[in-house]
A and B are shown apart, each in its own frame.
Chain A
Amino acid sequence: MEEAYDCCFSIATMITIFLLVVVIRVVYVFYRTGKPLSSKSSKPRSTLIVLGSGGHTAEMINVLSVMQKARFTPRFYIAAATDNMSLQKARVLEDSLADEDKKVPAEFMQIYRSREVGQSYITSIGTTLIAIAHALWLMLRIRPEVILCNGPGTCVPLCVIAFLFKVVGIRWSTIFYIESIARVKKLSLSGLLLYKLRIADQFFVQWPQLQRKYTRSQYVGCLM
């Protein structure tokens, strides 16, 4: 009888210690998120670029074309499975690069969508779980050091997984979120989630009205 009691007690103790460690680790991750990286180096960082239909990909390509590619390599592009144009536009950008920027070829991947437009909410639960599992699979493969995203729904599961990787210690991915130029007064749903959950390391907005409303964001002017 006493042995059973000791056994339960030590299991309870272990669980408590484990939860405590997790909480401390999560608090630490929130504390470190948003602080510039301490090491200053010119080493290139592997970069995940999340593309999305509509203006999202166009805006992302615009930013990438000005970036020093040698610093952000290897590059991984992810777009939703039903988005045909985005990866194509990314390929055109990569093909147009100078040879020294093409030494490490970019990779292009598609990810399952959580929910298609008009899909019933019941089946959406299943498809969302599949999408999360797929996102986890891709992120375990890529483990990027930098994530660039600007709003499509696909970026939320990827960024949440990146946050979990920070907690567990799989990889510290610096997440840069650039809200779309089309968002002037209100954030997109993805932006709102990542802002409120404090998941993005840096949250950029293109209009001053948004910066005034969301004071932890940074106003960077119009990119287009």
Chain B
Amino acid sequence: MREIEQKRITVFVTVGTTLFDALVKAVDTEQVKHELLRRGYTHLLIQIGRGSYSYSYIPHKCEGEGGSLVVDYFTFSSSIAEHLRSASLVISHAGSGSIFETLRLGKPLIVVVNEDLMDNHQSELAEELAERKHLYCASPQLLHETITDMNLESLLPYPAGDAKPVITLINRFLGFPDD
């Protein structure tokens, strides 16, 4: 008998190379998982980060019995591109690499800023992009509220960056002929 493929609508959570237990904990709450399920997501995959110390928080895996959200996690991968590609929603720490990799793939994105970081310049970028409606920005405490209220259709696609203007200026300054 052929297995019917379960439709996977995945939420991918990533903390990059940082330690960001607050995000993992916030995502792994019944509230958030319930809200994601209500919105039609079937799978939750969390990249929890790696370190030489033991984690203070490990999420609960779940096989999805009784129609609940399938939850899985892993520590680290050299490239999360594939996970981003197969996700329908991405929840990420505020690193610029993660943010732009996700926006370039055109995926809906919620950026969660780590308030425990000493020098939190990362929030500037997340807030600016949120103001320009390219993503949603939240603290771990407000994640549930953000997911409940979000309207992903209202997000605007992020226009691709262009390095040519700065290169043109550099070339001209050095006296290279214009192309």
Contacts and interface: CB of A to CB of B under 8 A. Distances in A.
A and B from one assembly? yes
Interface stretch (A6-14, A36-44, A160-168): A36-44
Interface stretch (B30-38, B49-57, B120-128, B140-148): B120-128
Interface residues of A, number: 41
Contacts of B175: 36-41
A139 interface: no
Interface of A is mostly: loop
Contacts of B164: 66
A185 to B, nearest CB: 5
B161 A37 contact: no
Interface residues of B, number: 27
Contacts of A188: 121
A220 B174 contact: no
A153 to B, nearest CB: 12
A40 B178 CA distance: 11
A59 B170 CA distance: 16
A75 B179 CA distance: 21
Nearest to A37: B175
B173 to A, nearest CB: 5
Interface of B is mostly: helix
Interface in B93-127: 95-97, 100, 121-122, 124-125, 127
A71 B162 contact: no
B170 A223 contact: no
A120 to B, nearest CB: 17
A63 B167 contact: yes
A183 interface: yes
A198 to B, nearest CB: 16
Given A178-B166, A181-B96, A224-B96, A45 B161 contact: no
The 6 A-B pairs with the shortest beta carbon distances in the complex, nearest first, are: A40-B175, A55-B96, A220-B166, A224-B161, A184-B124, A222-B161
